[in-house]
Every structure is written in C-alpha cells, then in structure tokens.
Amino acid sequence: MEKNGNNRKLRVCVATCNRADYSKLAPIMFGIKTEPEFFELDVVVLGSHLIDDYGNTYRMIEQDDFDINTRLHTIVRGEDEAAMVESVGLALVKLPDVLNRLKPDIMIVHGDRFDALALATSAALMNIRILHIEGGEVSGTIDDSIRHAITKLAHYHVCCTRSAEQHLISMCEDHDRILLAGCPSYDKLLSAKNKDYMSIIRMWLGDDVKCKDYIVALQHPVTTDIKHSIKMFELTLDALISFNKRTLVLFPNIDAGSKEMVRVMRKKGIEHHPNFRAVKHVPFEQFIQLVAHAGCMIGNSSCGVREVGAFGTPVINLGTRQIGRETGENVLHVRDADTQDKILQALHLQFGKQYPCSKIYGDGNAVPRILKFLKSIDLQEPLQKKFCFPPVKENISQDIDHILETLSALAVDLGGTNLRVAIVSMKGEIVKKYTQFNPKTYEERINLILQMCVEAAAEAVKLNCRILGVGISTGGRVNPQEGIVLHSTKLIQEWNSVDLRTPLSDTLHLPVWVDNDGNCAAMAERKFGQGKGLENFVTLITGTGIGGGIIHQHELIHGSSFCAAELGHLVVSLDGPDCSCGSHGCIEAYASGMALQREAKKLHDEDLLLVEGMSVPKDEAVGALHLIQAAKLGNAKAQSILRTAGTALGLGVVNILHTMNPSLVILSGVLASHYIHIVKDVIRQQALSSVQDVDVVVSDLVDPALLGAASMVLDYTTRRIH
C-alpha cells in the first residue's frame, strides 16, 4: 500500500442506484478492478436499476463483467413525494444486513439522489467510511439539500471543479480529505473515438438520419414544483413537434412526477410519432456518441450541462433544475420555459451550432487521482470526522499533489520568426516554455501548433498543472469572437482567414481564445503588469513592427471591425517613408525593428555604420541592434536615426494622449528602453499641458504576448458568469 498504514487490501463497496450514477462510478470500478493487489471490490445494486419500466439497467453492470454481490429492491412505486420517502425508509431497513455481511472498509456513494442519502446514512451510522463523489456542486433543486446532507455524512470527498472544492471548504470540510479530481465520466468521454458512430445513430434514430441533424431530449421532474415541470415538459414536446427534426426522447428518472411526464408523452403520441424515438435507456458508450454528434440536446439533465460540454454540442437547459451549475458557453438557459415560442426560439438559436469543447468538469485523468487518493486513506486514523470551522482564506494552497493542482493556461505566441508555447500559472509564472521556428506554410504551422500543444498538455499533468484552456497571440487582425485570424502581417505567410479555435479545441477538448498580439500585451499588463487595477491605459509594443492595445474602463477595445489599437499605423508625417501597410509616414515606418534595420543597411552599404569597437560578421545580417550599438558608441548618424524614430513614436503617443486621455502609457518590447526618454521629451514639447503629467513607463514583463494569451484563459475561466 502507498503509505496508508494498512497491511491488507482495501475493501471497497460501490453502491449504484440508477443509470446516471453508474456512468460516473463505472470508470472508478474498472480502475479498482485493474489493481487487485490493492483493492477488493463489492458491488451493491439498488434503486431504479432493478425496475423494468426504467430499463432493468442492472444488466449493463453485468455486461461490464462486474459481479453484483447484492441486489436490493428499494423502490416503492407511486412516483410521488410519499413514494420517495418510503423508498428511503425501505432502503434503510434493508441495508444494515448487507453492510454487516460485506464489512467494507469504505463505501463509495455518488451524487444527490434520495437512494444515495439512504446509503450514506446507513454507512455513517454503522461506522463505515464514506467517499462521496461530486460533492460541493450546486444545481438548484431539492438535490442540493440531499447532496450537502451526504457531504456532512461523508469522510472523504471527490469533487469535479474548483468551485465545488471551495464550497466544500466553506462547508467546514477538512481540506486534507478533499480531492479535486474531475468527473470520472470524462475519463471515458475524452477517450471516446468511435469511428462507427453513424451505425449507433441509425440504430437509435433510423437509417435516414444524418450527423448533426437530430436532437436528444432528456427531461426530469422537478420535485419541488412538479406541476410546473410537467407543464414545461408538455411545452417542450410541442416545440419539438413544431421544430420537425428527428428526436431521441429518453424517459425521465424515477423522481416524483415522472409517471405524469410519461402520461404526457403518451397523450401526445410521442412513442408512435414518425419524428420521435422514445427509449427507456441507452448504454452510456452509445449515449456518448449520440450526444457528441447531435445537432442539439434539450432538457434539464445534469448530463447536458456537464458531460455534453466535452463535445461542444449545443445544449438548451430548461427551467431551474440545473440553474446553479457551472457551464460552458455551449449551454443556453431558458429559465422561464413557460411558452412554446420561447423553447422554439431557443431551438432555432442553438440547433446545428458547434461550440468550443469544454473541460470544466474534467480532463480525463480523474480515475488515477481517485485510486491514488484511496490508497492514501489510513484505516488507523480515527473514524470520527473533524470539521474545520475557522474562516476560509482566499486561494488556499497546500503542497499535496492529489489535493490541489496548479490552475494554468496553455499560451501560444505566433511571431514572425518563432512559435512559442508555454504553461502559465494563475500567478503569471511561466512553468515551462517550448520554442520552435515558425514554419512558412499553413499546413506545417497548424500541425506544429497542435503537436506542441498536445505535448505541453501531456507535460502539464506531470508538472501537476491543471490546464483550463488555450490562449493564442498572433500578429494581424483577429476576430476574437470566432477565433479567426482575418488578415495577417506580411511576416506570417498563408495566415489569412484561418480558424484557429476549431482544430485546437477539437484536438485538446479545451476552450480556445485568440487575439492580436498587441491586444494580448495590453491584457498581460492589465492582469500581471503595471496596468493592474487601472481603469484606462494604453500599451505600445515596439518590436519587428509596432502594435498596441487599449484598455478603457477596464475592458479591452476591439473596435467595430476588430481594427482598434493599430497604433503602429498612426500617421505622424505626410511625406514620411513607405510603410508595409501600403501607406507612408506611419509610426511603424520610422520606429519599428524593420525600419531601423532598413536604415542600418543603408548606413552599412555606405560604410557609415561601423565605428571603432564594432564589427559585423560576414554571415550575419545587419539589423536594428547594430544601429543601436553604433549610436551608443557615438555614431552621430545612427544617433540621429534613433532620435527621429523616437520622435515619431513620441508624436504617436501625443496623439494617443489627446485622443484617449489614458492614465498610463506602457512601452513594451525590445526597443522600448531605447525610446522612453525621447518619447517623454516629445510629450513635454508637443502635448497639451493637461496630459503632460500622464506617466509613460517601460513594461517590466518579460513575455507579454504569452502572458496576455494566458490571461484570456485565466480571466474567463475564473470569473465565469451565467
């Protein structure tokens, strides 16, 4: 065993009540089964698994080759509130004999069902340790109360999201006994690559159905408002009939109100309607393929707001049953689904869309974390659980690898010369960086980006980093809403009208953000640099070209055609040198690295560049750095060129001050320190007195493009609002 103080195998009892919880428990059961030297597995089946009307789903457990130690018939039929209470009571009567016979060291209980409450109550009163899966989450119905009640009974907790972990800590649970693992079902979801998915679609929906041209509907009663939930189900079916798409309707769960919902289905003839297929149960592996390739999923099942996000399938969440859940951007909420028109409008908005894949609820590595956590349980520790009542501090961090991973982003910087990928932590620390030359063709470039990101994501697991998403910084004009590079700079060839979001999202199953490198530099300053906490500031990048970003009222300005902050193309002279944009007299034509290189070559060709103490090897191209070196060594012509370049930049800054009136201007990039003093002189000479006090500083960030790309991920995923 792994330092758990035990000298025998850990006897684990997994109790499953229905088709939904088995999809989460099965990956753990398979994991336990593969390590017989550490664990003994007992399987207890109860609840709706054993009812014919709900598909006799215990058979899928047998098909998975698990030995069922005990079958307990615990459901009192009636499908109303009283029947639920009586079912809990019946389970409490039957479970003690089973637990006395099995004598497990630990019982694994999932979720928030009334059956699970009976399991947890029995185990707690019989001094059996409880591991609760998916505690700390918030949905919006009586399930919340049951879930949190089980949390109070459980000794150990496996949660799926950072928010759920924080909720458990706020509920005074011991942080050392909380594992942030992700959802076990994601281990199967993210590895599901069934090339023959069309045969599954045809089997359940008919031979004439096409991929992305059907709907999956799964709606359950809301036990705190049964009457309204039945009416909402009726409106949903009416909307689906009007929408006229092939639809797979799954029967509701066994909660109070389900019998009335089935009556509604039969009243409307759903089981015989040519556009509908009504089924009691679909095996989870096949269900994955059906929702992954659906045009839309509709209903109020937790599956819609949790698992379906892994595929980017559009989801319409109806009513309040899942209103508190964290969701990806694929979910459209219809909270007051009180008319057919509202639901129909939502179907028109969502059907057929494709969203970025989301990994809010898991990264595919939950089961290894859970098994490691189980091995660490010391049976010699006192059984009585302790509650941690002191106030919870923000950003709690403990150096225990199975409890807390470093929340991080994958940042990509597409430069004219190099392609860089980095793992960036929440604090802006670059954990690891990878650099390759940027290929010249689209095909080679996109393949290299995918390869580097896949390698970095795999390395992140070893480095104990949880990747929340991918941020990409690239030159040119970018539509960040669609993740498309509209027009690139001349330095990056074959890079116009390029969809970056889709291939990366599909490959990594992560949300992806894309923006212009100047905007990324501004976002880096806002989150990690000298712009932190400021309402209005401007960043100017001085590098191969000249770019920038504008923060106004704490928000980045993109402009109506995503062309805002093209600060390098502010014209500062009507008869200045030609610019790469096709105009002339732009700041970039004077002050960019390309402009300085052009002037350096002219001087070198006329033998006016090199001074004493300088040399340029024959195999080395003359560039901006040689010009700067010559100026430092006293070359008057080089000094004059730099002064002109700095003056052009300074005039641009004056125009920015007069236009935007920011509280700070940040010069970023390799040339910033060489221009700063000249820029300040120009402001003193040329700017209105009302803006002369605005501070101009040099950025202290080493990799603003990478940090800005990371900030898109970190800002969004840590302040998600729905």
Q: Just list the catalytic residues.
A: 517
- The residues near 42 (Cβ < 8 Å, ≥ 6 apart) are 11, 12, 13, 14, 69, 70, 102, 104
Q: What 8-state DSSP symbol labels residue 308?
A: G
535 phi, psi to nearest 5 deg:
-80, -40
**Coil/strand/helix, residue 434:** strand
Q: How far apart are CA 382 and CA 278, in angstroms?
A: 50
Residue type, 637: K
C-beta of residue 599 within 8 angstroms of C-beta of residue 626: no
User: Where would I find the H helices in 270-324?
Assistant: 284-292, 302-305
Q: Residue 684, class by beta-carbon neighbours within 10 Å (0-12 exposed, 13-18 middle, 19+ buried)? A: exposed
| Encoded amino acid at 376, one letter | S
| Greatest alpha-carbon span in the chain | 99
Q: How far apart are CA 228 and CA 214, in angstroms?
A: 27
β-sheet bridge partners, residue 91: none
Closest CA to 324 of 296, 300, 357, 351: 300
Beta strands in 260-363 (DSSP E): 276-279, 296-299, 315-318, 331-334
Strand, helix or coil at 10? strand
Structure tokens at 442: 């689209």
| Strand arrangement, sheet containing 484-487 | 477-479, 484-487, 498-499
- Would you say 587 and 568 are in contact if contact means Cβ atoms under 8 Å apart? yes
Strands 555-556 and 664-668: unpaired
CA-to-CA distance for 488 and 506, rounded, in angstroms?
23
Number of H helices, E strands in the chain: 23, 26
The answer to whether the beta carbons of residues 222 and 319 sit under 8 Å apart is yes
3-class state of residue 263 by DSSP: helix
Closest CA to 28 of 189, 146, 188, 192: 188
Cα R_g (the chain), whole angstroms:
31
- Residue 176 annotated in ligand binding: no
Gap between the terminal Cα atoms of the chain: 44
579 is in an annotated binding site: yes
Which segments within 237-389 are labelled E, that is strand? 246-250, 276-279, 296-299, 315-318, 331-334
Q: Which of 301, 708, 314 is nearest to 525 (CA)?
A: 708
Q: Is 588 annotated in some ligand binding site? A: yes
Is 79 known to sit in a ligand binding site?
A: no
Strands 156-159, 129-133: parallel, antiparallel or unpaired by DSSP? Answer: parallel
DSSP of 317-332? EESSTTTTS---TTEE
Separation CA 359–CA 570 (nearest Å): 41
How far is 38 from 698, CA to CA, in rounded Å? 58
CA distance 8 to 167: 34
**CA distances in angstroms from 536 to 467, 552, 637, 666, listed in the order given:** 30, 5, 38, 11
Buried/exposed code over 501-534 (b: 16+ C-beta within 10 A; e: otherwise): bbbbbbbbbbbbbbbbbbbbbbbbbbbbbbbeee
The verdict on whether residue 581 carries a ligand-binding annotation is yes
569 marked among binding-site residues: yes
Please indicate if the annotation marks 507 as binding a ligand.
Answer: no
Q: Binding site for an N-acyl-D-mannosamine: which residues?
A: 477, 489, 517, 566, 588
Q: Binding site for Zn(2+): which residues?
A: 569, 579, 581, 586
